[in-house]
Structure 1
Amino acid sequence: MSSMILESLAICAVTWSLWRLFRNVVVTTHLDNIPGPPPSSWLRGNLPDMFDRQGEAFYRDLIENYAPVVRLQGAFGRKILYIHDPRAMHSVVVKDQYSYEQPDWFIKSNLLTLGPGLLSTLGDHHRKQRRMLNPIFSINHMRHMMPMFYNVGHKLRLAIEHRVRSAPSEIDMLNWMGRTALELIGQAGLGHSFDPLQEDVTPDIYAEAIKAYVPALYDLSVYRWTTPYLSVIGRPAFRRALLEWVPWKRLHKLKGVVDIMHRRATEIYREKKALLDTGDEALTLQVGEGRDLMSILLKANTLAAVEDRLSEEELIGQMVTMTFAAMDTTSNALSQILHLLAQHPDVQTRVRQEILEARHRSDTRDLSYDELCALPFLDAICRETLRVHPPATFIFREAQRDMILPLSEPIRGLDGTLMTEIPVPKGTVVHVGVLGSNMNRRTWGEDAWEWKPERWLAPLPEAVAEAHIPGVYSNLMTFIGGGRACIGFKFSQLEMKVVLSLLVSTFVFEVSDKPIAWNISGIRFPTVGVDGAKPELPLKVSVYRGSV
């Protein structure tokens, strides 16, 4: 009798699994009527093109040659919608955001690698964490962090100046931007110093792990969809033993990176917690003087109602998430700007003049928060770079129930009918088109694909305001919108402007003779040539010897 029951259960499990696997082929929906590029195979669909690090041509084809809602195919025929229609994006990331949560594979893989931070939680759990974190990213706190930003920025300036004082030199600016971004989030975010920014210092293992995380995870992108199934196999100890047994180098690399990140984050958390327990005076003697984001969060967490407090595991998860999110995005965006300035020396000269003139008018050596934010051309360069070259372009959501997706304008289906709205079945993955929205010619004009900082110095096209783009920053989708918008975008903007104001006023950046290729990834990164394995950005750097 028991064997019959087990046999029946096994048959049911196999049948259910096969149905889940093949239902996308058997069952047709309205999504099948939406035009889209053909998949490379049924097994992997369009995923190889979507995650190709030189896949910009694929995305440009989607944006330029298809409607603002495109049907793609995931693994085993699963439907994916790529959208950059403003009304559709507003529905997904704002109006119906809790009906379009991040996919289970994304949440589970983040939970396993980053811990239970903002990028790994959903629903009420996510809202609780965000309520606790929102106040620490206020403008008032940003003002208090200016001395820390400048302290790190001046160390960077001196380190580079030491290398180029006697003659121009080729410098890997991505490496220096990465070290600087880590030290900025270390001091201002965690109250911890990782790097004195000196040439002969051995890189901090935490820094190396954070830098290696995205490439290691990206190498497994096509397989991340399996995470929800793998995460329920046995207990954590069993899964860890299984990972160590599987002879897969890429998987072992990611595991090693994750272990280092969590070990160092736990050490830093416990050190800070011990200092906090001894009183505020002990914190004021440390890096950040108790004004760093983590110190403020720990104090707020202690004072919060019991039901609102974050657990130790969550706090460590926030540390890992905060460091990862702030380091690569900011450092790679800064590197992108420096590369663009090297390619456009007239723009570099103009923004340098703006910074030097502002410093000449200022009463202090370093520009204040208000003075820095009042530099229109520097601001325009940052905005335009984040428009054309958003650091992160892979934003996914998954319909939690059957939905109706509204459209700003009708699209024509494969059968010739006009579709004014799209029924979206539960489980459909939606790829929010950050690049598609930022580069849409109908919104930004015929020069949308050109990098033109001066566009921000004049009124933007009326179509930009009329589109009602749901991004949290400057009519762009770079930092997304809604309840999962980037919580630290103001922090990032301020970091970038402080670093650029110091570097551009001190040095001249020129392209080297090495070809630079920018690669699409979880976060964009440069390499020497399209086949380069190492992220790097060699630029020719010399001391600026002019004057206002």
Structure 2
Amino acid sequence: MIGLLLLALAVCGLAIVVPEVRKRLRQQRALSTIPGPPCPSFWTGVSTQLHNPYAVEYREQVLTEYGRVVKLPAFVGDIHLAISDSLALSTLYNKYRDAFDLPKWHSETSNTVFGPGLTAARGQQHSKQRKHLSPVFSVRYLRDMVTMFNQVAQDLVDTLHGQVSQEGTEVEMSEYLSRFSLEAVGRTALGYSFGPLDVHGTDYSLALKEFGPTLVKLHLWRPILPWLKWLFPLDVLRAAASVFPWKVVRHMQAISDNVYQTSREVLRKKGEAIKLGDAAVRQEIGEGKDLISILLRQNILGLEGERLSEDDILGQMSLLLLAATDTTSASITRVVQLLAENPKVQETLRREILDATTHVGRTLFDLDYDAFAKLPYLEAVVRESLRMYPVFYMANRVSDEDALLPLSEPITGTDGKQIQELFIPAGTTIWLNMLGSNRDPAIWGPDAHEWKPERWLAPLPASVADARTPSVFANMSTFAAGPRSCIGYNYALAEMRIAVAHLVLAFKFTPSDKEIVWKLGGIVSPSVRGSDSMKPEFPVVMARA
């Protein structure tokens, strides 16, 4: 019996090792002369430098200083590429749209922790889910959510008023902005409230906040998950995780269980309200205008073979909360920091909002979706912040087949030869270099590394349009492109515009004497220099405007 087990393990080992060795040999022939940072270790490459809480500065350097194609040495001779060349990315998104997908370990992690949501699904399952979800995120439905966004933003202002003096008070804003974003998503996406912002917090909300930092600690081990799921049933893995000696693994399981059970309870109540009819739905927090209510109604009306399963919908709920909560609150935090550091920009923005509201006898509640989007300086501040500081600096893809990606401009290899196109061996990890594209001086001009909202108030350089950067918003890579572009980017933009408008109208911001640094905790989030906490921290001095 033991002999058979050892033989099975040996066969499994060979099944893993042989294809990996073959892939690395092909990569060495095709990609060895691509420029990139020095490799400190054959065993880990630059993976430990790229994937740790203090990796932000290193990522910014590597992704912006080595050109549009960057070689990133990975584990045991593996080669990853970070690409920001627009023609290469266009080819990837179009010609190879069905070939390049999330790595299996990425989707398996999402599936195991939160179920088959959009970020976990691959191939046809992803296409099916995206088809169902795309109408839900349309501007048509977002228009009805502006009132809810306004209400939560006003709740935030009212809560902060109790903390802030006329002269100025240092406030730890990251916690309040996290509460705001979670409550905004709760009401508009789930029709669910997590409670008043001054005492906000449930086991559910705390679990969501801890997901990113916990995932970072597990990052280097995530690639083995598909093999574990291939070798063992999921029930066995869950039982093993509950007694595993590494606390992080047990904590991730607890997060998964908490989010799943709460999502299921919310979904059950939604389904009951819909069955009772429109009157019952109108009694819900979102009055039936929240995203999940819309999705459930569409699902009921769908054809029998095309409806989403309950597990699919539960996966989407987790996606909405994870993808739309910390990401948007981090982006709003970045805007507040930039406004505090640039008082002239802050004052110009406040005057614009005053001119659009108080000076003409209106309030922010009188502005609809289009009115917020048409405030030119507010839009300039939001766009420039998203260009300079995307929440995700890069996103990974892997192709199951060989690919040939042409380059818009040749690059010079480490051997001095010109490289006109990239041969990508099957199985190679490609990182979409969003930061590099957004800060490319050849596209955005010599001041591409400067935060200048004014650039959006005049025609952009012709080079921006000429670059033909694959994009769903404003010629930038922040929300990616192609079949896995951010489905909720208009939702995030609406939330950002409304939150920033309310905050700037109510408060003046100046920097704290504590230095703010940004850490990697699933997303890029703020922290105080010297702090060991993975919890976001953003102290800022606030006074009533």
Q: Secondary structure at the match of 1:520?
A: strand
Residue 62 of structure 1 and its aligned partner are, at CA, apart by 2.8
Q: Which residue of 2 aligns with 1:239?
A: 237
- The one of 350, 356, 365 equivalent to 1:358 is 356
Q: Contact 1:63–1:440 (CA<8 Å) still a contact in 2?
A: no
Give deviations 1:477-507, integer Å, cap 9, x for gaps: 1000111111111011111111111110111
From the superposition, tell whether residues 531 and 164 of structure 1 become closer, same or farther in structure 2 (CA, over 3 Å): closer
Taking the aligned partners of 2:178 and 2:42, their CA distance within structure 1 comes to 39
From the superposition, tell whether residues 45 and 24 of structure 1 become closer, same or farther in structure 2 (CA, over 3 Å): farther
Q: Which residue of 1 aligns with 2:271?
A: 273
**Residues 17-32 of structure 1: matches in 2 within 5 Å?**
17-23=16-22, 26-27=25-26, 28-32=28-32
Q: Which residue of 2 aligns with 1:308?
A: 306
Taking the aligned partners of 1:433 and 1:503, their CA distance within structure 2 comes to 32
Residue 530 of structure 1 and its aligned partner are, at CA, apart by 4.9
Q: Which residue of 1 aligns with 2:434?
A: 434
Q: Which residue of 2 aligns with 1:458?
A: 458
Q: Contact 1:54–1:530 (CA<8 Å) still a contact in 2?
A: no
Q: Which residue of 1 aligns with 2:152?
A: 152
From the superposition, tell whether residues 252 and 402 of structure 1 become closer, same or farther in structure 2 (CA, over 3 Å): same
Bigger mean CA offset, 101-110 vs 7-16: 7-16
**Matched letter for residue 403 of structure 1:** A
Taking the aligned partners of 1:10 and 1:193, their CA distance within structure 2 comes to 49
Q: Which residue of 1 aligns with 2:346?
A: 348
From the superposition, tell whether residues 238 and 485 of structure 1 become closer, same or farther in structure 2 (CA, over 3 Å): same
Taking the aligned partners of 1:356 and 1:202, their CA distance within structure 2 comes to 30
**Matched letter for residue 513 of structure 1:** D
Q: Which residue of 2 aligns with 1:319?
A: 317
Residue 515 of structure 1 pairs with residue 522 of structure 2: no
- The one of 273, 294, 297 equivalent to 2:295 is 297
**Matched letter for residue 408 of structure 1:** S
Residue 228 of structure 1 and its aligned partner are, at CA, apart by 1.1
Residue 514 of structure 1 and its aligned partner are, at CA, apart by 1.2
Give deviations 1:358-416, integer Å, cap 9, x for gaps: 10365642222222111111000000000111011230000120110111011122333
Residue 448 of structure 1 pairs with residue 439 of structure 2: no
Taking the aligned partners of 1:278 and 1:438, their CA distance within structure 2 comes to 49
Q: Which residue of 1 aligns with 2:174?
A: 174
Structure 1: 5+ residue stretches without partners: none
Q: Contact 1:358–1:371 (CA<8 Å) still a contact in 2?
A: no
**Matched letter for residue 507 of structure 1:** F
Taking the aligned partners of 2:94 and 2:350, their CA distance within structure 1 comes to 39
Q: Which residue of 2 aligns with 1:468?
A: 468
Q: Secondary structure at the match of 1:67?
A: coil
From the superposition, tell whether residues 11 and 283 of structure 1 become closer, same or farther in structure 2 (CA, over 3 Å): closer
From the superposition, tell whether residues 268 and 386 of structure 1 become closer, same or farther in structure 2 (CA, over 3 Å): same
Q: Which residue of 2 aligns with 1:252?
A: 250
Residue 445 of structure 1 and its aligned partner are, at CA, apart by 1.2
**Matched letter for residue 107 of structure 1:** S
Taking the aligned partners of 1:272 and 1:111, their CA distance within structure 2 comes to 23
Q: Contact 2:53–2:216 (CA<8 Å) still a contact in 1?
A: no
From the superposition, tell whether residues 155 and 178 of structure 1 become closer, same or farther in structure 2 (CA, over 3 Å): same
Taking the aligned partners of 1:284 and 1:494, their CA distance within structure 2 comes to 23
Q: Which residue of 1 aligns with 2:383?
A: 383
Count of aligned positions: 541
Give deviations 1:292-332, integer Å, cap 9, x for gaps: 11101000000000111000001011001111111001101
**Matched letter for residue 108 of structure 1:** E
Q: Which residue of 2 aligns with 1:542?
A: 543
Q: Which residue of 1 aligns with 2:208?
A: 210
Q: Secondary structure at the match of 1:231?
A: helix
Q: Which residue of 2 aligns with 1:42?
A: 42
Residue 19 of structure 1 and its aligned partner are, at CA, apart by 2.2
**Matched letter for residue 428 of structure 2:** T
**Matched letter for residue 288 of structure 2:** G
Taking the aligned partners of 2:335 and 2:385, their CA distance within structure 1 comes to 7
Q: Which residue of 2 aligns with 1:504?
A: 504
Taking the aligned partners of 2:293 and 2:14, their CA distance within structure 1 comes to 52
Bigger mean CA offset, 48-57 vs 351-360: 48-57
Residue 6 of structure 1 and its aligned partner are, at CA, apart by 8.1
Q: Secondary structure at the match of 1:297?
A: helix
Q: Secondary structure at the match of 2:406?
A: strand
Q: Which residue of 2 aligns with 1:284?
A: 282
Residue 41 of structure 1 and its aligned partner are, at CA, apart by 1.6
**Matched letter for residue 14 of structure 2:** T
Q: Which residue of 1 aligns with 2:132?
A: 132
Q: Which residue of 1 aligns with 2:142?
A: 142
Cα RMSD over matched residues? 1.9
Structure 2: 5+ residue stretches without partners: none
**Matched letter for residue 332 of structure 2:** L
Give deviations 1:82-138, integer Å, cap 9, x for gaps: 111111111223442211111111111111112101100111111111111111111
From the superposition, tell whether residues 444 and 520 of structure 1 become closer, same or farther in structure 2 (CA, over 3 Å): farther
From the superposition, tell whether residues 145 and 508 of structure 1 become closer, same or farther in structure 2 (CA, over 3 Å): same
From the superposition, tell whether residues 324 and 402 of structure 1 become closer, same or farther in structure 2 (CA, over 3 Å): same
Taking the aligned partners of 1:277 and 1:537, their CA distance within structure 2 comes to 44
Residue 15 of structure 1 and its aligned partner are, at CA, apart by 3.4
Taking the aligned partners of 2:261 and 2:213, their CA distance within structure 1 comes to 20
Taking the aligned partners of 1:280 and 1:137, their CA distance within structure 2 comes to 21
From the superposition, tell whether residues 157 and 61 of structure 1 become closer, same or farther in structure 2 (CA, over 3 Å): closer
Residue 11 of structure 1 and its aligned partner are, at CA, apart by 5.2
Give deviations 1:418-452, integer Å, cap 9, x for gaps: 22111111101001101010011111111111111
**Matched letter for residue 205 of structure 1:** D
Q: Contact 1:179–1:195 (CA<8 Å) still a contact in 2?
A: no
**Matched letter for residue 320 of structure 1:** S
Residue 186 of structure 1 and its aligned partner are, at CA, apart by 0.7
Q: Secondary structure at the match of 1:43?
A: coil
Taking the aligned partners of 2:263 and 2:329, their CA distance within structure 1 comes to 20
**Matched letter for residue 19 of structure 1:** V
Residue 274 of structure 1 and its aligned partner are, at CA, apart by 1.2
From the superposition, tell whether residues 332 and 60 of structure 1 become closer, same or farther in structure 2 (CA, over 3 Å): closer
Bigger mean CA offset, 410-419 vs 448-457: 410-419
Residue 485 of structure 1 pairs with residue 485 of structure 2: yes
**Matched letter for residue 332 of structure 1:** A
Residue 249 of structure 1 and its aligned partner are, at CA, apart by 1.4
Residue 47 of structure 1 and its aligned partner are, at CA, apart by 0.5
- The one of 220, 240, 261 equivalent to 1:222 is 220
Given the two structures, how large is their TM-score scaled by the length of structure 2?
Answer: 0.95
Q: Secondary structure at the match of 1:499?
A: helix
Give deviations 1:312-353, integer Å, cap 9, x for gaps: 001011001111111001101001100111111111101000
Taking the aligned partners of 1:23 and 1:280, their CA distance within structure 2 comes to 60
**Identity of paired residues, percent?**
35
Q: Contact 2:24–2:79 (CA<8 Å) still a contact in 1?
A: no
**Matched letter for residue 538 of structure 2:** L
